[in-house]
Amino acid sequence: MTNPITTRKDGNVLVITSNNPPVNALGAAVRQGLEAGIKEGLADPQVEAMVIRCEGRTFFAGADITEFGKAMQEPGLPTVVDQIEASTKPVIAAIHGTALGGGCEVTLGCHYRIAVPSAKIGTPEVKLGLLPGAGGTQRLPRIAGVKLALEMTAKGDPIPAKVAQGAGLIDRLAGEDSLEADAIAFAREVIGKPLPRASEKSVEADPDAVAAFTKENARRFRGFEAPAANIACVEKAASGASFEEGIAFEREQFMKLMFGVQSAAQRHIFFAERKAAKIDDVAEDTKLRDIRKVGVIGAGTMGGGISMNFLSAGIPVTIVEMQQEALDRGTGTIRKNYEASAAKGRMKPEQVEAAMGALTPTLKMEDLADCDLVIEAVYEEMGVKKDIFGKLDAICKPGAILASNTSYLDVNEIAASTKRPEDVVGMHFFSPANVMKLLEVVRGDKTAGDVLATVMALAKKIRKVAVVAGVCHGFIGNRMLMPRQVEAMKLLMEGATPEQIDRVHVEFGMPMGPFQMSDLAGVDIGWHRDPTRIESIRDALAAENRWGQKTKAGFYDYDDKRNPSASPRVAEIIEDFRKKTGTAQHEVTDQEIVERTLYPMVNEGALILEEGKAQRASDIDVVWIYGYGWPVYRGGPMFWADTEGLPKIVAGLEKHGFAVAKLLKDKADKGERFN
Ligand code: 3HC
């Protein structure tokens, strides 16, 4: 392997450059090269200062995550950072792109930091279930103060160079195109001055910061181990402990997290998300179709949300409705949503106008003729969809991609209503479509490879995480939701309450349980609308106008602020049904709820894999994390099943009389995992 670190002398300044694509991760060779570079600079009498910089798209984006969980090769990153800081000649970090994690810690070891204005700096380790383990938790509060250190380490969001400069984290901004020259000039300026070393600074007291921050973010951190560990390390630094004591504490906490299940789960999801973008049988260099203009059919909640994704990314949208009133309502809602973002400071007023200016509302399908991609988002009825796709076939230009936002229907059947099934694909957005990160890209039997590749690339552009799914009822996500809902209803009949079942799911880490979800989505969804026909608990609720949050009553009662409470009326309805059907009652334990609602999801996931409807188990995990809020610290249902142990899942399923998927059984028997 060629050495990723090179050095060159610019007069009395040694420039140490890393070139380790794609993101200059601090793998063993980079660490060895940095150590050697510093030694070279110290040993050379001509050298009076050093600059550390990176080639390519970014400064060091962190430790090399692929090395985690394996034996670490020397020197470790903490040693390298200490060596940089201990240098008797000034070392300047020259930052572009993103200085993240270990990359940020390298800069904190440097005596000075200079960055281009577009650079960002941050410690996102917490998102991998970790903490900055190369002195970051101790140097950051010493340089930037306790408050910012808490924010940066426990939340993990990087900050722009200008903000970092305001906090003392960046000493100087360079010209966007003259970083290296500016860094060298800066280095010359500081030669001979006393060296500022972070480890020698004391932490400025901020007595209430830790308690206030912890309280403020309790909800956000619910269930996660890493934020508390990050906070504890910063607190240690703020407690008056020496730098060495702080470092010892940081190391201990870091190792605990590194070998825990949560970090393994979060690292799994980091790679799973990136793997999901890859389509096994479509070449990575497939020529993509140009998507300059998008059409959306339907200006309802879904169509409006879908449109916003493209408008926000600067892609013009033509939105079609059948009635002027519906069109006006839809575009009005889009504007309202943007204005709400602007009111929260997330958008500038001119950005709102730019987005709205790129929207063309129309009542004529013919206006879609020049669109490169059209997404149909009307209600779920095959006849309606086929009719629309037949019309699109006649209207749209050759090569346009025709997509359906269906959440259950057969994309092959929809495609067959056109003469160009190769251009037809499913794009299943999740509600609210402008917020939820997941996009299921449904691959029909005839969908062309370049159509898939184009949609996957477009997804990244509109900041979605896309997963390829095959055609089956409900695709990946909703298909796995079905057995869960069925079992939850059965458990109600057998003696559980909606409150108990939901509580078990929330304690597991889901944002809500099955009944809270029904109330949010609408109990009347899929209802036959005949109040005299009462065949299920759902029918009974719907017949009494208990349609969920929107009617302030569903499986729960709601007050004016939509706070739920247990409903005596629902308890009566359930009791009636239990009597009517003569269902035997037993005491349902929390563990039984887990085994009967979550294990069948794993089983369904295994069937999906067996049938080739998902490319890989990790894709299923990504669907559940980004589409349904499965707790990321449990790594998605398939990863969770691995950590539970597949034999245990199989035994649980068999105990409750489920037919176990062959793939699941085989893997359990062979001692294999899904991931
Ligand atoms: N280690 C190993 N591989 C990494 C990596 C890392 N730290 N960061 C990114 N990669 C890989 C990705 O897996 C991807 O590989 P692929 O092409 O084979 O799929 C490739 O680099 C490109 O990454 P992205 O697709 O994410 O590229 P983007 O341009 O969209 O994003 C980025 C770039 C913002 C740097 C993003 O990759 C990122 O956030 N990386 C992780 C940063 C991070 O978490 N750093 C902390 C690491 S932990 C640590 O430092 C511990 C320390 O405290 C001791």
Residue-wise pLDDT tens digits, 588-647: 999 999 999 999 999 999 999 999 999 999 999 999 999 999 999 999 999 999 999 999
> According to the model, what pLDDT value does residue 453 have?
97
Residue 224 tokens read as 């996660």
Distance 60 CA to ligand 1 centre (A): 9
Secondary structure of residue 558 in the 3-state scheme = strand
Average pLDDT, stretch 371-382? 96
pLDDT band at 525 (very low <50, low <70, confident <90, very high): confident
Position in ligand 1 atom list of the atom nearest CA 61: 35
Cα–Cα distance for residue pair 531/543, rounded to 1 Å: 4
Which has the higher per-residue pLDDT, 2 or 415? 415
> According to the model, what pLDDT value does residue 1 have?
60
> According to the model, what pLDDT value does residue 460 have?
96
Catalytic residues: 105, 125
Indicate the average pLDDT of the chain: 96
Residue identifier of the C-alpha nearest atom 10 of ligand 1 = 23
Residue identifier of the C-alpha nearest atom 35 of ligand 1 = 61
Distance 312 CA to ligand 1 centre (A): 25
Interface predicted TM-score (ipTM) over 0.90? yes
Distance 23 CA to ligand 1 centre (A): 6
Position in ligand 1 atom list of the atom nearest CA 64: 1
Residues 58 and 97: beta-carbon distance below 8 Å: yes
Q: For residue range 115-168, list pLDDT tens digits in order.
A: 999 999 999 999 999 999 999 999 999 999 999 999 999 999 999 999 999 999
Residues 294 and 374: beta-carbon distance below 8 Å: yes
Cα–Cα distance for residue pair 14/49, rounded to 1 Å: 6
- The ligand 1 site (C-beta within 6 Å) comprises 22-23, 25, 58, 61-66, 77, 98, 100-102, 105, 124-125, 128, 130, 132-134, 136, 274
Residues 296 and 318: beta-carbon distance below 8 Å: yes
> According to the model, what pLDDT value does residue 122 have?
98
Give the single-character DSSP code of 187. H
Mutating to test ligand 1, I would choose from 26, 54, 65, 266 the residue with most ligand atoms within 8 A of its C-beta, which is: 65
Name 416's Cβ contacts closer than 8 Å, sequence gap at least 6: none
Position in ligand 1 atom list of the atom nearest CA 134: 54
Concatenated DSSP letters of 411-455: HHHHHTTSS-GGGEEEEEE-SSTTT--EEEEEE-TT--HHHHHHH
> According to the model, what pLDDT value does residue 305 have?
97
Q: What does DSSP say about strands 438-443 and 424-429: parallel, antiparallel, or unpaired?
A: antiparallel
pLDDT of residue 351 exceeding 70, the answer is yes
Give the single-character DSSP code of 632. G
- All domains in the chain, ordered by first residue: 5-258 (3.90.226.10), 294-473 (3.40.50.720), 496-584 (1.10.1040.50)
Average pLDDT, stretch 207-222? 94
Cα–Cα distance for residue pair 634/262, rounded to 1 Å: 6
The whole-model pTM stands at: 0.94
